[in-house]
Amino acid sequence: MDEQEFNRAADAQLARIEAALEIASAADDSGFDFETKPGGVIEIECDNGSKIIINRHAAAREIWLAARSGGFHFRPEGTADAIRWVGTRDGEELMVALARVLAEQ
């Protein structure tokens, strides 16, 4: 996957994350707010003041997730129309990891 393909795939995944966060934050008891920043960065601020940062890292061709519990890297797997973002350490999918760290924080 070249850099242009990676950026397209990462931007599509970040848009899916943003859409899911919009739906989740609409609930009165969501416990977080978020902001999309330039350059493929999503910053989630929890009610307790802690933050979760999600960003694309073009040089490594990964999406990175930083949370109180640690830093996690996700690489794309699959074909252009069926890409999954999988943890480099444990194979956990990005959306599953995001839900987990959001619940923990």
User: Average of pLDDT values for 21-38?
Assistant: 86
pLDDT band at 29 (very low <50, low <70, confident <90, very high): confident
Q: How many domains does the chain have?
A: 1
CA distance 6 to 58: 7
On whether the pTM is more than 0.85, the answer is yes
Q: Which domain holds residue 25?
A: 3-104
The answer to whether the beta carbons of residues 73 and 60 sit under 8 Å apart is yes
8-state DSSP, 84: E
- Give the tens place of pLDDT for each residue, 39-76: 889 999 998 999 999 999 999 999 999 999 999 999 99
Q: DSSP string spanning 7-73?
A: HHHHHHHHHHHHHHHHHHHTSTT--EEEEEETTTEEEEEETTS-EEEEEEETTTTEEEEEETTEEEE
Q: Report the amino acid identity of residue 90.
A: D
Q: What is the CATH number of the domain that holds 37?
A: 3.30.920.10
**Whether pLDDT at 28 is above 70:** no
